[in-house]
Amino acid sequence: MTRSSTTVVVPTVGRRTLRTLLEALAGGDGGPLGWPVVVVDDRPAGPELDVPTPGLDVTVLRSWGRGPAAARNVGWRHARTEWVSFLDDDVVPGPDWLSRLDEDLADAAADVAGVAGRVRVPLPPDRRPTDWERSTAGLERARWITADLSYRRSALAQVGGFDERFPRAFREDADLGLRVTRCGGRIVSGRREVLHPPRSSGFWASVTQQRGNADDFLMRGLHGRDWATLVGAPRGRRRRHVAVTASALAAGAAASARKRVPAAAAGMLWAAGTAELAVARIRPGPRTPGEVLRMVLTSLAIPAAATWHSLRGALRHRRATPWQGAPDLVLFDRDGTLVEDVPYNGDPELVRPVPGARRALDRLRRAGIRVGMVTNQSGVGTGRITPAQLASVQTKVSDTLGPFDVVQVCPHGPEDGCSCRKPRPGLVLAACEQVGVAPARTVVVGDIETDLLAARAAGAAALLVPTSQTRAPEVSRAHRRGLVAADLADAADRLLGGGW
C-alpha cells in the first residue's frame, strides 16, 4: 500500500505513552508506516527528547512549552503533504488504524477539509469509573477532537492553524473546527479508531481543570454566546458555581460585620450548593473512602476556582479578535533588507548580512514558515553585472543566511516594461505559485515602499523595515498603516505572533 498523502503530527510533553504510540505506528496492520512523522516536543526546557523510531521516518521539533496549539502549529507548518494527521501522545491506535486512515483520506471528497477518527475511552469493567475517568470518557462525544483528526494542510493554512491563545488542550480544537467549517470546509467522521486510556491524575486535578473556564470566555469572544451549541459542548455548572461562591463571600462579609442571621443564611446556601455538587460527583462513582474524600474536598474548592478563572477569562478576552496565525510564506527583499545595500553588486566578497538577519530567518524556519527572497537586479538588464556574477552573489547570500524555499529575481531594467519588477506583483506571485502558497497567506518584508506596493498588488501583506536609506515619507505612510517593524528581530516577533 502506498502512503504518501499525510504527515502524522504528535505533540508531546515526554510522556512514556509516546513509545507505545510510535511502536503501534511502526508495526500496524499494513506494515511500517510509510508517512513522515513529526514529533513536537513541548517541554519548556530539558535535553533533546529521546524518541524511539524503529522503522519510522521521524523528525523531532521543539515548541518550548507554548502549549498544544503552538506545538501542533509547528508540526503542520513543517509538513509538505496534502494532509496532516494529528494524534495525541497518549492514544493507542487500533490494529487496523493505518489502513483505515488510508481509506479515510482516499475517500474524502474535494470539499472535505477534515476527517475525524473515533476516540474510545476504556473504562474499568469491574467497578464504577472515578470522576476523572468519567471526565476523560467525555472525549468520546467531543466534536472535532484532535486526539485523532486529519486536516488538509491547505485548510489549516487558510485559517492560520490553531489559535495559540488557548494555552492548554481545551477548546482549541473546537475553535479550529468552527473556523474551518465557516470557510466552507466539511469535517466528517472516518472509520479508524484510537483508544484514549484515562491517565492517572493528581488529587486536585479536577480543581486545576477549572482553568478551562477562561478558555470558554475566549470561545465566547470569538464565536458568540451560542458557541457551546455550535460545537456540541455540554452545559456546565458555571452559574451554580458563581452562586455558591457569592454565597460564601456574602457569608464571610456578613460574619465580619457581625450580622449573624444574614451570615447564617448565606452560609446555609453555600453549604447546600457545595453538598449538591459533592453528591452529584459521588453518586456515579466508586464509593471508596479515598474517592469520596477527594470528591468532598475538591467540591469545596471547585466553585471558587471556576468562578475565578471565569472572571479572569471574561476580563482578558473581552476584546478578543479573530486569529490569523503566522503567515505560510515570508518573502524578503535582498539588498538593504537581508544584506547591506551595495549598488549593482557582482562581487560575493562584498556580501554583508544586516544585523540579526540569520537569526530572524532561522526563527521563521524553526516555526515551519517558508522563507523566500524576491529581488530586483536591474544591473543584469543594463549590463552593469553579468548573470554569472549575479548567480555568485546569490549563492553567497544563501550560503551565509541559510537555504531559501524560493528565490525570484527580476533582471530587467526600469525601462523594460516587465511585469516582474517591483512594484509590480510578478515576483511575489511567481514565488507564491512556485511553493503553492496563496498570496493572502504571504508577507513581503522590505526596506522601501516599492516592496510594500508589490505585496499589495499581489494581494499579500507587507512589513517595512526602514534603514537610513529609506525615505522619510515612505516610513511615515507605512507607519500610518501599522506596517513598520523596527528591525528584522521585531519583524520576526510580529510575524510569529500573528501581527501582520
Residues annotated as catalytic (active site), given as ranges: 333, 335
Question: What are 134's three cell numbers?
Answer: 468519567
Cα(166)–Cα(175) distance, rounded to whole angstroms? 9
Question: What are 46's three cell numbers?
Answer: 530539558
Question: What are 254's three cell numbers?
Answer: 456578613
369 within 8 A of 326, measured Cβ to Cβ = yes
The secondary structure of 428-474 as a DSSP string is HHHHHHHHT--GGGEEEEESSHHHHHHHHHHT-EEEE---TTS-HHH
**Strands of the 186-195 sheet, one edge to the other:** 58-62, 37-41, 6-12, 83-87, 148-152, 112-120, 186-195, 92-93
**What are the two backbone dihedrals, phi and then psi, of residue 442, each rounded to the nearest 5 degrees?**
-125, 145
Handedness of CA 165, 170, 176, 179 (dihedral sign): negative
Q: How far is CA 253 from the centre of its chain?
A: 44
423 class by beta-carbon count within 10 Å (0-12 exposed, 13-18 middle, 19+ buried): middle
Cα(153)–Cα(67) distance, rounded to whole angstroms? 20
Cα(365)–Cα(77) distance, rounded to whole angstroms? 9
Amino acid identity, position 77: R
53 within 8 A of 110, measured Cβ to Cβ = no
Residue appearing with cell numbers 502506498: 2
Which of 437, 429, 433 has its CA nearest to residue 410? Answer: 429
Residues in a beta bridge with 193:
118
**What are the two backbone dihedrals, phi and then psi, of residue 31, each rounded to the nearest 5 degrees?**
90, -175
Residues in a beta bridge with 329:
370, 442
Q: How far is CA 436 from the centre of its chain?
A: 20
The secondary structure of 301-342 as a DSSP string is HHHHHHHHHHHHHHHHTTT------S-SEEEE-SBTTTB---
**What are the two backbone dihedrals, phi and then psi, of residue 337, each rounded to the nearest 5 degrees?**
-110, -55
